[in-house]
């Protein structure tokens, strides 16, 4: 039949497209692994960069990345989860405030990272005089990941069965008690998944970070210190041709970190599904 022949071709095409995508992904990761593995060593991970990154390792950038991500999560998670709770549990979702919030969250999510970088630079670094620092970077990143955390928290909270609430109130418990003891724990896996995904985003962010946390190579001790994250370090090493091998090494470490974060997120997601 004519259609059978055509359909066979279409099937092949579809599978081919999936194959292309897998090839792209494996190609990129594979290339970086092959080129970067020779640089990876215990020293690379534990020694700081020296001579502007030409020599040495990337320890300070690893610490900076983790530090910055943690700070941004510390700021965004309470706010995001709080917002989600407010919307879902205090019935504000369907009011005008709720609608405004939904719109602003979606808009925040779509703004390009460079605009965040500009804003962070002008507002935190200069206007609030926080300078290039983990704090400026953390605040900027926190705003960037806030919509994601709010949305995933909302979904997780909605998924908690109504009976939890009705039973709890029937027993005379207050709203906050119910939230604290029943709803949050039940929604935790979903919320955690959102947090992990946002962490992944924070790790990879560069445009906003370079303008707010700076590109200084020192070890950040307090939140007022500037910090160069791995993503920024990769950018500088690559663009300035300082050390291609170390650039590959940095890229490899970043990819390993992302894969690990993805793995954690998947574990967490499976926990949600099991509920």
Partner 1 sequence: MSVLKREKTFSLILLGALLLMSLAIIGCGGSEKQDADSQGESSELSGSITIAGSTSVQPFSDVLAEEFMVKYPGTQVNVQGGGSSQGITAVVSGTADIGAVSRELKDEEKAENLKEYNLALDGIAIAVNPANQVSDLTLEQLKNIYLGNITNWSEVGGSDAVITLVNREEGSGTRGAFEELVMGEDAIADYAIVQNSTGAVKTIIETDKNAIGYISLAVADEKVKSLKIEGVEASADNVISGQYKISRPFIYITTEEPTGLVKAYLDFVLSDEGQAIVVEEGAISEILK
Partner 2 sequence: MKKNKISEALVEILLRISAGASVLAIIIITIFIFYKGIPLILKVGIVDFLFNLDWSPTRGSFGIGAMVIGSLAVTLASLVWSVPLGIMTAILMAEIAPHKISGILSRFVELLAGIPSVVYGFFGLIVIVPFIRNHLGGVGLSVLAGAIVLGIMILPTIINISRDAIAAVPEEYKVNSLALGATHYQSIGKVILPAAKSGIITAIVLGLGRAIGETMAVLMVTGNSTAVPDSLLAPVRTMTSNIVLEMGYAAGDHQTALFATGTILFIFIVILNLAVNISMKAGMEDGN
Strand partners, 56: 49
Residues at the site binding partner 1, with contacts judged by CB under 8 A: 50-52, 71, 74-75, 77-79, 82, 125-126, 128-133, 135, 180-181, 184-185, 188, 214-218, 223-226, 236, 239-242
Q: Name the binder of 74 from partner 1, partner 2, none, CB < 5-8 A by kind.
A: partner 1
The token pair at 66 is 């983790």
CA 214/CA 231 separation, integer angstroms? 12
Instruction: Spell 183-204 as b/e; 16+ CB within 10 A means b.
Output: bbebbbbbbbbbbbbbbbbbbb
Of 34 and 74, CB closest to partner 1: 74
The token pair at 246 is 């170390």
Q: Name the binder of 114 from partner 2, partner 1, none, CB < 5-8 A by kind.
A: partner 2
CA 245/CA 221 separation, integer angstroms? 28
Rounded to a whole number of angstroms, the minimum distance from the CB of residue 57 to partner 2 is 18
Q: Name the binder of 18 from partner 1, partner 2, none, CB < 5-8 A by kind.
A: partner 2
Rounded to a whole number of angstroms, the minimum distance from the CB of residue 219 to partner 2 is 21
Rounded to a whole number of angstroms, the minimum distance from the CB of residue 265 to partner 1 is 20
Rounded to a whole number of angstroms, the minimum distance from the CB of residue 209 to partner 1 is 13
CA 258/CA 230 separation, integer angstroms? 12
Q: Is 139 helix (H, G, I), strand (E, B) or coil?
A: helix
Of 174 and 221, CB closest to partner 2: 174
Of 98 and 131, CB closest to partner 1: 131
Place of tokens 């109504």: 162
């Amino acid at each position: 039949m004519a259609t059978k022949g055509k359909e066979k071709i279409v099937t092949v095409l579809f599978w081919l497209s999936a194959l292309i995508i897998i090839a792209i992904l494996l190609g990129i990761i594979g290339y970086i692994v092959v080129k970067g593995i020779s640089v990876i060593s215990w020293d690379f991970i534990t020694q700081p960069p020296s001579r502007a990154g030409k020599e040495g390792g990337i320890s300070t950038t690893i610490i900076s990345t983790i530090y910055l991500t943690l700070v941004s999560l510390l700021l965004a998670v309470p706010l995001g989860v709080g917002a989600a709770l407010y919307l879902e549990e205090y019935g504000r979702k369907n009011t005008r405030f709720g609608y405004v919030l939904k719109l602003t969250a979606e808009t925040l999510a779509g703004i390009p990272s460079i605009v965040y970088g500009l804003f962070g630079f002008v507002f935190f670094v200069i206007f609030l005089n926080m300078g290039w620092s983990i704090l400026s970077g953390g605040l900027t990143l926190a705003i960037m990941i806030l919509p994601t955390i709010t949305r995933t928290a909302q979904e997780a909270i909605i998924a908690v069965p109504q009976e939890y609430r009705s039973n709890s109130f029937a027993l005379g418990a207050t709203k906050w008690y119910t939230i604290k003891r029943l709803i949050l724990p039940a929604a935790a896996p979903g919320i955690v998944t959102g947090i992990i995904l946002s962490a992944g985003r924070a790790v990879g962010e560069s445009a906003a970070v370079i303008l707010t946390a700076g590109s200084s190579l020192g070890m950040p001790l307090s939140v007022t210190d500037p910090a160069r994250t791995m993503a920024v370090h990769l950018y500088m090493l690559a663009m300035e041709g300082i050390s291609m091998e170390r650039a590959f090494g940095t890229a490899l470490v970043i990819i390993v970190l992302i894969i690990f974060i993805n793995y954690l997120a998947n574990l967490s997601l499976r926990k949600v599904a099991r509920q």
